[in-house]
Amino acid sequence: MGDPVAAVAALDEETAEEALKLVEVDYEAMPALMSIDEALQRPDARIHDYGPRGNVHKEVSFDFGDVEAGFAEADHVREDTFFFEGNTHLPMEQHAAVGSRGPDGKLTVWSSTQTPHYVHRALAKVLEMPAAHIRVIACPNGGGFGGKSDPFSHEIVVAKLSMKAGRPVKVTLSREEVFYCHRGRHPVAMWVKTGLKKDGTITAMHFRSVLDGGAYGSYGVASLYYTGALQTVTYRIPRYKFEGVRVFTNKPPCGPKRGHGTPQPRYALECHVDKFCHDLGLDPVRWRIENALSPGAITANQMQVRTIGLRECLERVVERSGFSSKRGRLGAGRGVGLAASAYISGAGLPIYWNAMPHSGVQIKVDRGGGVAVFCGSTDIGQGSDSVLAYVVAEELGILPEDIRVMTADTDLTPVDLGSYSSRVTLMTGNAALQAARRVREPIFAAAARKLGVPVDRLRAASRRIFDADEPSRSLSFAEAVVLAESEFGTLGSVGSYTPPRSIARWKGAGVGPTPTYSYSACVVELSADRETGIVRVDKVWIAHDVGRSINPLLVIGQVEGSVYMGLGEVLMEEQAFRKGRHKIPSMLDYKSPTTLEMPPVESILVETLDPEGPYGAKECGQGPLLPVIPAVANALFDALGVRIDEVPITPEKVVAALEGRLRGPRMPALTYPQTVVVPPLAPGAPAAPPAPAASPGGSR
């Protein structure tokens, strides 16, 4: 349901709708597989003819250390099962694209996309045109959240129809069609087993995930790996086993949504942590702080942690919220919950294999002192265009408003892989930093000769270049540019960024490694009505390790946006289907928080000055979402004394749990592939670089 089948171009929408009625299609009715269980139970009703077996798209199994020996050493072993329902991005603007083939035979496509480079590559491949004859311009897109990361059918359709008709062609999806495009959060069933000593030290962990992928792949292989990869980068887990399966169903395809593949397992793990702390009589705050990884750690699955502000995030959010004094003491129907998380700051690998940079920046300086910055990155509301201006202005000593930023146009800008995986500030920022420092060299050289001072004594600020020892000896930036162009010719530079190579060497290790990880901790205070099951979140405190905040206001905006999205996912949002059709494909029926449901949020920014990021910056656009969902679930247990191990936590489930009628989630019955035993890193393998000097909490 919702698959594109045919396309018609017409002068107006009404005519196109009438023409579509004339398109005759013969359908063969097939069984509708609408759940993980149905897909696994009907291997004969195979949706695709690829994948290892039946309706399994991808399956993996990895053993990092002797997990069974770890369980044998444990004093306490706990198992839990969780389920996380799928939900969608709900961008303000629907997907839209315009295609136009010009008189020169070259094609231009404008699209509300997060990934103009990948759209450009897909158009060249599908239309069998030279890539140099195709131009893709990513327009302001009214929100992406991962839902505009794929190249879509409508982008190909507008291009092909324009080639056929000789006219520009536009497609704008209706809201219902956006629900059927989807690419949103995977429904995931999860099982986790952890062995612990009496003092709470983990001896081993075994994690399983089964993903409902919908009808197609999208970024689903990466999603599958992500459900297992990042379990190890928050707490010390010496032995770890991950088994995962993604299945096809006859539903809209799932893909990347804010946090891509990690909110589901983080929800499971943080609720699991609270449960085994309760079993052992341990303080969940103290356990998290004492078991947090240290800077420079290498995890069991060979992920490399550099800076980590998790301890300080936990300490500050607990102190600010008064968590320890409130837990278990707020009275009937009121509670507080805590959770922590980690997320990537840029993906370690591109979507397709190549050895080229992940991000490029070009800078042009004109003789009037004007500076233009060109980059293929896409601003989807997170402020990445402004980050380019801030970085270049900082290096050249001018103001952000002095800079023209041109982005997301494949004809004008160098390649950037797109706005996904929280990569733009770190990767584009580093490329801009390199380009700015390169173009500064001839400008400073010319200024040094004019002022008669060594280059290394020059500084730039407030649109002037001056001697650090004698600031009155100075000239304007524009004057220095004229001198430099007179001496060296036209001024311009390029910069690029490629992330450091992962130390992991096992197949599948490309998903999870990142230049650095961000960390978050969240406390939620809520009220729950025992009669109606309605949950009201009263306040949220959230601390985020941002590395360094280049623009604190934008960072807080991203953090609070993550809180909003997380609250929607945990309390009400779900992609629900009935008889093969979406039950609620409209904003009238799909439940999402309004301003009335949004509680006060207190944001705390923790800075760890990571050496991998520009000026020490890490990501802030996705990581803060992760701890919100389990913090709500843990707070509900504190308020009512019941556990609801599936998301969303609706009023109906709350009432059923209180009445003892709620059946907990179960894992689908399936077999996993043979386990790949990953040997530990060989002696002499590259180690983590020394961590920068920091306080015990990770702050500068």
For residue 132, give its domain range: 13-28+89-181
507, 303 contact by CB (below 8 A): no
What is the rounded average pLDDT of the residues 306-331?
98
What is the rounded average pLDDT of the residues 572-596?
93
684 pLDDT tier (thresholds 50, 70, 90):
low
Residue whose pair of structure tokens reads 């709470």 in the numeric block: 200
pLDDT digits (tens, 9 = 90+) for 407-448: 999 999 999 999 999 999 999 999 999 999 999 999 999 999
Boundary-marking domain end, from 122, 155, 181: 181
Distance CA 641, CA 270 (A): 17
The answer to whether residue 69 is domain-embedded is no
Q: What's the pLDDT at 691?
A: 37
pLDDT digits (tens, 9 = 90+) for 281-305: 999 999 999 999 999 999 999 999 9
682 pLDDT tier (thresholds 50, 70, 90):
confident
Q: Do 480 and 519 fall into the same domain?
A: no
pLDDT of residue 690 exceeding 80, the answer is: no
Q: What's the pLDDT at 700?
A: 20
pLDDT digits (tens, 9 = 90+) for 342-396: 999 999 889 898 999 999 999 999 999 999 999 999 999 999 999 999 999 999 9
Q: What's the pLDDT at 685?
A: 58
What is the rounded average pLDDT of the residues 207-211?
98
pLDDT digits (tens, 9 = 90+) for 242-280: 999 999 999 999 999 999 999 999 999 999 999 999 999
Directed axis angle between helix 552-571 and helix 263-280, to 10°?
A: 80
pLDDT digits (tens, 9 = 90+) for 78-90: 999 999 999 999 9
What is the rounded average pLDDT of the residues 537-550?
98
Q: Which of 281, 335, 290 is nearest to 315 (CA)?
A: 290
Q: Do 282 and 379 fall into the same domain?
A: no
- Reduced to 3 states (helix: H, G, I; strand: E, B; else coil), residue 551 is coil
CATH, residue 283:
3.30.365.10
Residue whose pair of structure tokens reads 């509300």 in the numeric block: 112
Q: Do 539 and 642 fall into the same domain?
A: yes
Contacts of 287 (CB under 8 A, 6+ apart): 200, 273, 277
Q: What's the pLDDT at 508?
A: 87
- Cis peptide before 513, with omega less than 30 degrees from 0? no
Write out the DSSP string of 559-598: HHHHHHHHHHHHHT----EETTEES--STTTS----TTTP
10: part of which helix (H) or strand (E)? none
Describe the strand order of the beta sheet including 646-647 as a list of residue ranges.
646-647, 76-84, 188-196, 202-212, 240-247, 56-64, 676-677
What is the rounded average pLDDT of the residues 42-64?
95
The answer to whether residue 176 is domain-embedded is yes
The answer to whether residue 35 is domain-embedded is no
Amino acid (one-letter) located at 87: N
- Helix (H), strand (E), coil (C) string for 479-521: HHHHHHHHHHCCEEEEEEECCCCCCCCCCCCCCCCCCCEEEEE
The answer to whether residue 471 is domain-embedded is yes
- Cα end-to-end distance, the chain, whole Å: 53
The answer to whether residue 37 is domain-embedded is no
Boundary-marking domain end, from 497, 517, 535: 497
Mean pLDDT of the chain: 95
Contacts of 325 (CB under 8 A, 6+ apart): none
Q: Do 173 and 193 fall into the same domain?
A: no
Describe the strand order of the beta sheet including 96-101 as a list of residue ranges.
134-138, 107-111, 96-101, 169-172
Q: Do 372 and 462 fall into the same domain?
A: yes
Q: Do 253 and 341 fall into the same domain?
A: yes
What is the rounded average pLDDT of the residues 603-623?
97
pLDDT digits (tens, 9 = 90+) for 8-35: 999 999 999 999 999 999 999 888 999 9
574, 86 contact by CB (below 8 A): yes
Q: How far is CA 683 from CA 259, 441, 507, 510, 664, in A?
A: 34, 42, 20, 21, 45
Distance CA 136, CA 527 (A): 49
Q: Do 573 and 615 fall into the same domain?
A: yes
Q: Do 464 and 554 fall into the same domain?
A: no
pLDDT of residue 689 exceeding 50, the answer is: no
Q: What percent of the chain has pLDDT over 90?
A: 93
Distance CA 102, CA 98 (A): 13
Distance CA 377, CA 430 (A): 13
Q: Do 554 and 587 fall into the same domain?
A: yes
1 pLDDT tier (thresholds 50, 70, 90):
confident
Boundary-marking domain end, from 147, 166, 181: 181
Q: What's the pLDDT at 140?
A: 86
Global pTM exceeds 0.85: yes
Q: Which of 500, 505, 572 is nearest to 534 (CA)?
A: 572
Amino acid (one-letter) located at 208: R
Tokens of 615: 């000026």
Distance CA 258, CA 382 (A): 12
Q: What's the pLDDT at 692?
A: 36
Tokens of 373: 């910055």
Q: Do 258 and 326 fall into the same domain?
A: yes
pLDDT of residue 631 exceeding 90, the answer is: yes
Distance of CA 395 to the CA centre of its chain: 29
Q: Domain count for the chain, please give it.
A: 3
Give me Rg for the CA atoms of the chain: 26
- DSSP character for 379? -
- Helix (H), strand (E), coil (C) string for 199-254: CCCEEEEEEEEEEECCCCCCCHHHHHHHHHHHHHCCECCCCEEEEEEEECCCCCCC
Distance CA 659, CA 643 (A): 12
- DSSP character for 138? E
Q: What percent of the chain has pLDDT over 70?
A: 97
The answer to whether residue 264 is domain-embedded is yes
Q: Do 117 and 221 fall into the same domain?
A: no
Q: Do 126 and 155 fall into the same domain?
A: yes
The answer to whether residue 700 is domain-embedded is no
Q: What's the pLDDT at 686?
A: 53
Distance CA 184, CA 186 (A): 6
Distance CA 268, CA 81 (A): 8
pLDDT of residue 179 exceeding 70, the answer is: yes
How many residues are given for the chain?
Answer: 700
The answer to whether residue 78 is domain-embedded is no
- For residue 62, list its beta bridge partners: 242, 676
- Other Cβ atoms less than 10 A from the Cβ of 380: the count is 28
